[in-house]
Amino acid sequence: MTATLIWILVALVVIGLYLSWTAGRLDRLHARIDAARAALDAQLLRRASVAQELATSGVLDPAASIVLYEAAHAARQAVEEQREVAESELSQALRAVFAEAQQVDAVREAPGGEEAALELAEAVRRVPMARRFHNDAVRAARALRRHRKVRWFRLAGHAPFPMAFEMDDEPPTALTERAA
C-alpha cells in the first residue's frame, strides 16, 4: 500500500514538473514573440521614417514624393488593426517609385542621395527578416498551444493567441540591386 502511494506521488510530481516545464517554455515563446514584435515594429518605423525623409528631401520628382510621403505617413500613423495594410501599401509605393533604375540613380546623384538610398535599401532589406523572425516565433507558440496538455491544463493562462504579421514586404529590386 505504501509503495503504491509513493509511486503515485512520484508520478504526480513528474507530471507536475513536466507541465511546469511546458508552461515555462510557452512563456519563453511568448516573450520571444514580444521581442520579435518590438524588433519588427522598429524596422517598420525605420523604413517609414527613411521613406518619409526621402520624400521630403526634394530629390524625387513631385508625384513620386507625394505618393511616397502619403504611404509612409499612413504607415506611421496606422492603428494596429490597419497596420498590415498600411505597411503593404508602403511596400507597393516604394516599388512604384523605385521601379526603374533611373530613379535610383537620380536619387544617388543628388546631394546626400547616396546615403539616403543606402539607408532606405538597408531598411527595406531588414523588414522581411524581422517579419520572418516574428512569424517563426508565432508559429512555434501556436504549435505548442495546439497540444492537448496545454489546452486541458490551460498552461497559456490568459495570454492572447499569437497572430502572425502578414504584409507585402517585397523590396523594390532596382533599389536593392543598386545598393548592393
What is the model's pLDDT at position 177? 77
| pTM for the full predicted model | 0.90
Find out whether 176 and 104 touch, Cβ atoms under 8 Å.
no
User: Which one, of 112, 130, 134, lies nearest residue 31 by Cα?
Assistant: 134
Q: List, for residues 137-171, the tens digit of each pLDDT value.
A: 999 999 999 999 999 999 988 889 999 999 999 99
Q: Answer yes or no: is pLDDT of 57 > 60.
A: yes
Average pLDDT of the chain is 93
Backbone phi, psi, residue 99, to 5° = -70, -30
Count CB-CB contacts under 10 A for residue 58: 11
The pLDDT of 94-100, averaged and rounded, is: 92
Q: Are 156 and 150 in contact (CB under 8 A)?
A: yes
Percent over 70 (pLDDT), the chain: 98
Answer yes or no: is pLDDT of 59 > 60: yes
For residue 180, the model assigns a pLDDT of: 55
Cell of 101: 533604375
> Residue 110: is it exposed, middle or buried by C-beta count within 10 angstroms (0-12/13-18/19+)?
middle
pLDDT of residue 179: 56
pLDDT-derived band of residue 174, with 50, 70 and 90 as boundaries? confident
Q: Per mean pLDDT, which range of 50-64, 70-84, 135-149 is the poorest? A: 50-64
Cβ-based neighbours of 46, under 8 Å, separated by 6 or more: 123, 126
Q: Which residue has the higher pLDDT, 45 or 156?
A: 45
Q: Is 170 helix (H, G, I), strand (E, B) or coil?
A: coil
**Residue written as cell 507536475?**
16
**Residue 43: is its pLDDT beyond 60?**
yes
Cell of 8: 503515485
Cite the DSSP H helix spans in the chain. 2-56, 62-77, 83-97, 101-109, 113-145, 148-152, 173-179
3-state SS assignment for residue 33: helix
The pLDDT assigned to 140 comes to 96
Q: Residue 178's pLDDT is what?
A: 58
Match 513536466 to its residue by C-alpha cell.
Answer: 18
| 128 vs 153: CA distance, rounded Å | 36
Task: Say yes or no to pLDDT of 111 above 70.
Answer: yes
